[in-house]
Amino acid sequence: MGVTQTGPPPTTGTAPRTGTPGASTADEPWPVRVVSQKVSAWIAKLGWVWVDGQVAQISRRPGAGTVFITLRDPAAELSLTVTTSHEVLAVGAPDLSEGARVVLHAKPEFYPARGTLSLRADEIRQVGLGELLARLEKLKRLLGAEGLFARDRKRRLPFLPQRVGLITGRASAAERDVLTNTRRRWPGVDFRVINVATQGLSAVPQILDALKILDEDPGTDVIVIARGGGSVEDLLPFSDEALCRAVFACRTPVVSAIGHEEDTPLLDYVADVRASTPTDAAKRLVPDLAEEQRLISLARHRLDRAVTNRLDRESQRIEAWRSRPVMARPHVMIDQRASDVISLRDRAERTLGHRLGTAANELSHTLARLRALSPAATLQRGYAIVQRTSDDHVVRADSDATPGTPLRIRLASGTLPAVVTPDADSAPGRSQVAPEAAVIPETGGDTEDHSDAVPDGGTSAPRTRAPHKTPAARTAADREKNTDDTAPAVDETTPKRERAKTAKSRKDSA
């Protein structure tokens, strides 16, 4: 019940308990009449106000000029008594009846004799359909702005609820439609029905109480609010702001099944699911058992057909595999692979043998070349390396060693010390080597001239062999003729007996 103040605002305050003249105390309490007078004075300060409410009761007493109206708040269990005259009622609302919405201009009055509060109206306006729809539209925009109609907050209904809570009128057609059609579709569904008033002054409070009970029930999976068709005034309780907010706050999904298809109370926008009729609500609550069985049969048939087709395809594939030569005669493939392995092994053996033979030949040739170029091989052929003892310088010419120069002659086996002595039979400036123990290579075979270079930059002193079998028969002229100019000269003044002795010792050592 809305109130619009038109007079001056009342002043509020708390009367002091002590210290104020005229204040009530335990020793000086106020009489009842004083309290009533003060209350009446405070209420009178409210002045004239516009009040919106619903007519709960109207009393026209014959012969009396006063009409008594009980005005109720549409959203709460609050009511006030309104007094007015027949003339005011006849001018503003001549056809006023119970349940109608009115707007009246009244002043609150307190009657001390009875201790009651009432409103004295001097103007009454019955709310018409257009104004009522305008108010509903305004409330719709307000609730929409607050997000009560948002789609993202609407919850899906369970596929098969264990228990359905139903709020509807007692023995109404809506109750019968919901129960009958729901159980026809799914016979095992369980219902908890709460019967309430679906129109009039007590509709909203009873619906709110029932909604609270079902929402707090843990066994209830979905709540249905159902009512048959009616006029706009009859369906006003389902557009009540308090009811819309209560449905929005519910934790259980709510289905709105109010009126017919063209009826759209505000509850339809707030509920999680809107059903056009109570019969449509039954279709949305549970699945159709016959339809589900048909779908299951169809799915089983499709599954059987899919499995059969898959087995047929796999059987054909297995038969195709078995018909292949590799599966029909697997030993043929093994024999072919065995022949390939033997052929590859023979090729590998031949290739490896050829490569090993080639490597062996190359190694032999390399070893022969290495031996031919080795300084030790040169010394084995009878050559010698002559070095000065003082600085190990290799003597390459007779000018590198003056008479008296100690020398070291390196042979294939061991070394010989020697001293350069002057040669009396040769040209002036020529000298010869006088070994301390002359060593002469033994005679044998044809005379061979070796000109291989000696490593380390040394000079090999070629030693020519005489055509005679004994080295003692060699003459100085023969040795001079068959010896390279770079080889050290042999001292001719050495006695023949000593030279023969030296040659014999070398032969014995060889």
Tens of pLDDT, residues 445-486: 333 343 343 444 444 443 433 333 333 334 334 444 443 433
Residue 105 dihedral angles phi and psi, to the nearest 5°:
-105, 115
CB atoms within 10 A of CB 14: 5
CA distance 481 to 475: 10
CA distance 217 to 231: 33
Judge residue 200's burial from the number of C-beta atoms within 10 Å of its C-beta, 0-12 exposed, 13-18 middle, 19 or more buried: middle
Distances 225 to 157, 209, 238 between C-alpha atoms, Å: 14, 13, 9
Residue numbers of the chain with a pLDDT score lower than 70: 1-22, 75-77, 128-131, 424-510
Instruction: Check: pTM over 0.85? Answer yes or no.
Output: no
- What pLDDT score was predicted for residue 488? 41
DSSP string, 326-391: HHH-HHHHHHHHHHHHHHHHHHHHHHHHHHHHHHHHHHHHHHHHHHHH-HHHHHHTT--EEEETTT
What is the distance between the terminal CA atoms of the chain, rounded to a whole angstrom? 148
Where does 73-172 have alpha helices with state H?
Answer: 86-92, 129-145
DSSP string, 251-288: SS-EEEEES-TT---HHHHHSSEE-SSHHHHHHHHS--
Enumerate the β-bridge partners of residue 106. 49, 121
Reported as half-sphere exposure (CB side, CA atoms, 13 A), residue 337 has a value of 6
70 contacts 100 by C-beta, under 8 angstroms? no
* DSSP 8-state assignment for residue 153: G
Residues 6+ apart with CB under 8 A from 73: 1, 53, 54, 79
- What pLDDT score was predicted for residue 440? 39
* DSSP 8-state assignment for residue 12: -
- What pLDDT score was predicted for residue 256? 93
- What pLDDT score was predicted for residue 95? 78
